[in-house]
Amino acid sequence: MSLLIKDVLLDGNVTSIYVEENRIAAIGGKARVEADTVIDGKGKAAVPGFVNTHTHAAMTLLRGYADDMNLQEWLSTKVWPAEARLTPEAVYWGTKLACLEMVKSGTTCFNDMYFHMDEAARAVAESGIRGVLSEGFIDRFDAARAEAEFRKAREVVRKIESMRNPRVRPAVGPHAIYTVSRESLVELHRWAEERGHPLHIHVSETNAEVENARKDFGKGPVEYLDALGLLGPNTVAAHCCWLSDAEVQTFAERGVKVSHCPVSNMKLATGRAMPLAAMRAAGVTVSLGTDGAASNNSLDMFESMKVAALLHKFAANEPTVATAHEVFEMATVGGARALGIDAGEIAVGRLADLVVIDLRRPELTPAHNLVSNVVYAANGGCVDTVLCDGRVLMQGRQVPGEAEVLERASSFAAKVAGAS
Amino acid sequence: MSLLIKDVLLDGNVTSIYVEENRIAAIGGKARVEADTVIDGKGKAAVPGFVNTHTHAAMTLLRGYADDMNLQEWLSTKVWPAEARLTPEAVYWGTKLACLEMVKSGTTCFNDMYFHMDEAARAVAESGIRGVLSEGFIDRFDAARAEAEFRKAREVVRKIESMRNPRVRPAVGPHAIYTVSRESLVELHRWAEERGHPLHIHVSETNAEVENARKDFGKGPVEYLDALGLLGPNTVAAHCCWLSDAEVQTFAERGVKVSHCPVSNMKLATGRAMPLAAMRAAGVTVSLGTDGAASNNSLDMFESMKVAALLHKFAANEPTVATAHEVFEMATVGGARALGIDAGEIAVGRLADLVVIDLRRPELTPAHNLVSNVVYAANGGCVDTVLCDGRVLMQGRQVPGEAEVLERASSFAAKVAGAS
């Protein structure tokens, strides 16, 4: 199995990219001239596939169901009642829809936390992209509920492990410190380490979370998690808006990976821009997430890159911060590092997870600076071709089976909304 | 000349829209079943064409040329040297590129300020969309320069008037109070009133502008402009980030129209979110602008709608402000009111400036709420068909002549950048 992308723009040069099996085998002069599959890259540019490090994929079913509301009212009157109507099949079709949207906007890997994740795993396996999937664990400090949650989480992890699909990895997903007991946090972390799986958790999204932690646990969220041993290089912490400088330092020392979700943070008004500059100065790996489609409402990483840059320039009152190059790295190599996948850049030996962008579009004209155009002017619709694990998932914007996914997901969305 | 859009979703119902000449003649049961041109609207939704009330269209040539810089350094080392290389022909092709990008993202009318605007007018006339075009007037408080600027401005207005094209209207464009003398401001306003043209000006974009006005004129920008008589219902004021409550009240009393440019304000770090809530409470007409492609870098109004909503939720720390419905109105009927065009909503008797959005896309699935999906999930690539003044400008995303525009604009962009 070999694949050749001919005459494509890569890092400023027109070159060829040769893929053997699932890895990039050669670039440029050393690239072969023939292959089983040849893709014409003329007028196009290759960039790494984007890595979305925090989402709740099946929440696509709730896209536009409720917006512009206070967080607590939104959750209790809209999201939770709808989620109570979620079935495994709904999660399967909601995740199929999310994967389709991600492929069409150039995302080749995502870090997901939701329910019925064995069904999500089936959807990811079929989609051709990579998923790191955690069953959201919520015990609300109730021992009986914790036991049921462990049973479910173990079953889901076992099922995903048994798929033996290198693109579909299980993770352990304690939802947050305010929904999961101390005992469960410790046990989930022990279990994640034992199985060698990443740990995915929401941290310091709102100031209320920080204040409640001080009241309930006598310390801030980061100090609390650190005392329980949950902070390490296999932990992906989503949001982190309210981290103090000292907490950023702790993250750096423990090697915690951050998933920054600028669109969701702004839409839900979490009240503070994540301390990006401090994280970068401390050497924390920062990646980008869209969050779920109920609070974004798009899974387009191009948009998240631009909004990240805009948010930090605005919040710091300084146009030179969060450059195009910086947010592009967050969305690619930062995400790959966060999830421990050998991708995020187009280089010989790396996984063949890459995106071919059509440059012959008005919004990408002129071509003064490709990275600037990708971050500040492009959107997901500029993506022409997507490869993941060496396989072509989209070419000429065509993804096989799209119509069925839209139809079935729509019908489950109506059920989840209580409309049928 | 008649045109029928059949089976299209409009305000929650599947209906038909019948266009005679350049106006919407009937909707629904009263729509005819035949027409000279019939467009199948199945699986699609009709929304008003977007109105972009502040841009510098030909700055598409500088897209991505320089980003992430301090405003003054960006202007003096990058933008101004490049603009010194601008030729009339470059402005023509830069504006052609901007019009193409606008058509492809659903914008049917824009308010422009730049140089060589007779050439811009030619580009707009050919594009099929509407433009309100002002030659940017800058005298830097120099009488000789003012005289030359008046000569140029009068010539450009005369040329545009003589086109007698109802889609292409001249306007009068004093750049700002810090670049135009008091005498010129007064004379430009008198002349605008005499000719019945709108006046387009930057107001209170930065705090420095406000502080300098107090120092130089002994009053804030709004009080200064009001004393000179420049504030009235035919004035479009761009940015307005730093307006005080009292200044908002003055705008409301004078009927000044505001063009809010959230993406540009964030990218250039103007330091403050425009006081949207105060403006709405006072009854000021607020519309949306992208600003030029050098400071955005996109002319996509879908993106400006979403970023407007995000910015105000974040800045106010309140997710219920700047709802999807509110920003959608800013981008449509608000813009139409700002520029005095009989459009901005799809209703019998209005100008046939409308956009047909393809709903069969993952990011617009499911269909819980069309306006939410348009504002929070869509991008310009969702636009399938564009009508302006009753004429089809794009169908199935095809715009005649696109390749030539991209090629010629690219070549002029290289010249303007000094690359050839």
Single out the residue of B290, B275, B283 nearest to residue B257, CA to CA: B283
**CATH code of the domain covering residue A108:** 3.20.20.140
Q: Is A164 exposed, middle or buried (0-12, 13-18, 19+ CB in 10 A)?
A: exposed
Residues A120 and A163 placed together within one structural domain of the fold: yes
What's the pLDDT at B50? 98
What's the pLDDT at B199? 98
Subunit contact B100:A362, Cβ cutoff 8 A: yes
Q: What is the mean pLDDT of residues A173-186?
A: 98
Q: Which residues of B touch A380 (CB under 8 A)?
A: 363, 379, 381
Single out the residue of A362, A339, A367, A336 nearest to residue A350, CA to CA: A336
Show the DSSP H helices in A196-244 as ranges.
207-217, 221-227
Q: Which residues of B touch A361 (CB under 8 A)?
A: 104, 406
B319 Cα to chain A: minimum distance (Å): 5
Residues B31 and B65 placed together within one structural domain of the fold: no
At B149-188, the pLDDT tens digits run 999 999 999 999 999 999 999 999 999 999 999 999 999 9
Query: Does residue B265 sit within a domain?
Result: yes
What's the pLDDT at A71? 83
The answer to whether residue B420 scores a pLDDT higher than 80 is: no
The answer to whether residue B57 scores a pLDDT higher than 60 is: yes
Dihedral pair phi/psi, residue B258, rounded to 5°:
-105, 135
β-sheet bridge partners, residue B3: B19, B37
Instruction: Return the number of other C-beta atoms located less than 10 Å from residue B119's C-beta.
Output: 24
Query: Does residue A90 sit within a domain?
Result: yes
pLDDT band at B282 (very low <50, low <70, confident <90, very high): very high
Residues A231 and A322 placed together within one structural domain of the fold: yes
The whole-angstrom separation of Cα A364 and Cα A374 is 8
Residues B190 and B284 placed together within one structural domain of the fold: yes
Q: Is the Cβ–Cβ distance between A92 and A121 less than 8 Å? A: no
pLDDT band at B75 (very low <50, low <70, confident <90, very high): confident
Subunit contact A317:B271, Cβ cutoff 8 A: yes
Q: Is the Cβ–Cβ distance between B140 and B148 less than 8 Å? A: no
Query: Does residue B412 sit within a domain?
Result: no
Query: Does residue A126 sit within a domain?
Result: yes
What's the pLDDT at B216? 97
Single out the residue in B339, B367, B388 at which a domain terminates. Answer: B339
The whole-angstrom separation of Cα A373 and Cα A334 is 20
Q: Which residues of B touch A298 (CB under 8 A)?
A: 363, 376-377, 379
User: In chain A, what is the greatest distance between 2 CA atoms, to the nearest angstrom?
Assistant: 65
What's the pLDDT at A30? 64
Q: What is the mean pLDDT of residues B31-42?
A: 88
Q: What is the mean pLDDT of residues B61-80?
A: 92
Residues A118 and A23 placed together within one structural domain of the fold: no
Residues B126 and B272 placed together within one structural domain of the fold: yes
- Residue A46's identity, in one-letter code, is A
Q: Which residues of A touch B67 (CB under 8 A)?
A: 323-324, 369, 372, 376
Query: Does residue A408 sit within a domain?
Result: no
Domain span holding position B31: 2-48+351-402
Dump strand ranges (E) for A211-350.
Answer: 235-239, 257-260, 285-288
Q: Is the Cβ–Cβ distance between A292 and A77 less than 8 Å? A: no
Give the pair of three-digit tokens for residue B329.
């109105």
Residues B274 and B141 placed together within one structural domain of the fold: yes
Dihedral pair phi/psi, residue A235, rounded to 5°:
-100, 125
The alpha carbon torsion through B88, B93, B96, B97 (nearest 10 deg) reads: -130
- Residue A87's identity, in one-letter code, is T
The whole-angstrom separation of Cα B388 and Cα B340 is 16
Subunit contact B68:A324, Cβ cutoff 8 A: yes
pLDDT band at A72 (very low <50, low <70, confident <90, very high): confident
Q: What is the mean pLDDT of residues B94-98?
A: 98
Q: What is the mean pLDDT of residues B371-399?
A: 98
Residues B164 and B265 placed together within one structural domain of the fold: yes
The answer to whether residue A397 scores a pLDDT higher than 60 is: yes
Q: Which residues of B touch A307 (CB under 8 A)?
A: 307, 310
Single out the residue of A412, A417, A407, A411 nearest to residue A100, CA to CA: A407
Q: Is B143 exposed, middle or buried (0-12, 13-18, 19+ CB in 10 A)?
A: exposed
What's the pLDDT at B31? 64
Give the pair of three-digit tokens for residue B253.
């009393």
For chain B, what percent of residues have pLDDT higher than 90? 96
B273 Cα to chain A: minimum distance (Å): 9
Give the pair of three-digit tokens for residue B123.
């580009």
What's the pLDDT at A31? 64
Residues A202 and A288 placed together within one structural domain of the fold: yes
What's the pLDDT at B413? 97
Q: Which 3 state secondary structure label does DSSP give A206? A: coil
Number of domains in chain A: 2
The answer to whether residue B145 scores a pLDDT higher than 70 is: yes
Mutate to test the interface with A, among B73, B274, B297, B329 (most CBs of A within 10 A): B297
**CATH code of the domain covering residue A37:** 2.30.40.10
Q: What is the CA radius of gyration of chain B?
A: 21
Q: Which 3 state secondary structure label does DSSP give B192? A: helix
Residues B41 and B60 placed together within one structural domain of the fold: no
Residues A386 and A272 placed together within one structural domain of the fold: no
The answer to whether residue A355 scores a pLDDT higher than 70 is: yes
The whole-angstrom separation of Cα B274 and Cα A111 is 36
The whole-angstrom separation of Cα B43 and Cα B37 is 19
Query: Does residue B22 sit within a domain?
Result: yes
At A219-247, the pLDDT tens digits run 999 999 999 999 999 999 999 999 999 99
Query: Does residue B192 sit within a domain?
Result: yes
In this prediction the pTM is 0.98
Mutate to test the interface with B, among A60, A105, A297 (most CBs of B within 10 A): A297
Single out the residue of B72, B77, B117 nearest to residue B418, CA to CA: B77
Query: Does residue A418 sit within a domain?
Result: no
At A286-318, the pLDDT tens digits run 999 999 999 999 999 999 999 999 999 999 999
Residues B365 and B272 placed together within one structural domain of the fold: no
At A95-114, the pLDDT tens digits run 999 999 999 999 999 999 99
Q: Count how many pairs of residues, chain A against chain B, have C-beta atoms within 8 Å.
A: 223
Ramachandran quadrant class, B211 (left: phi over 0; alpha: psi -120 to 50; beta: rest): alpha
What's the pLDDT at B34? 84
For chain A, what percent of residues have pLDDT higher than 70? 99
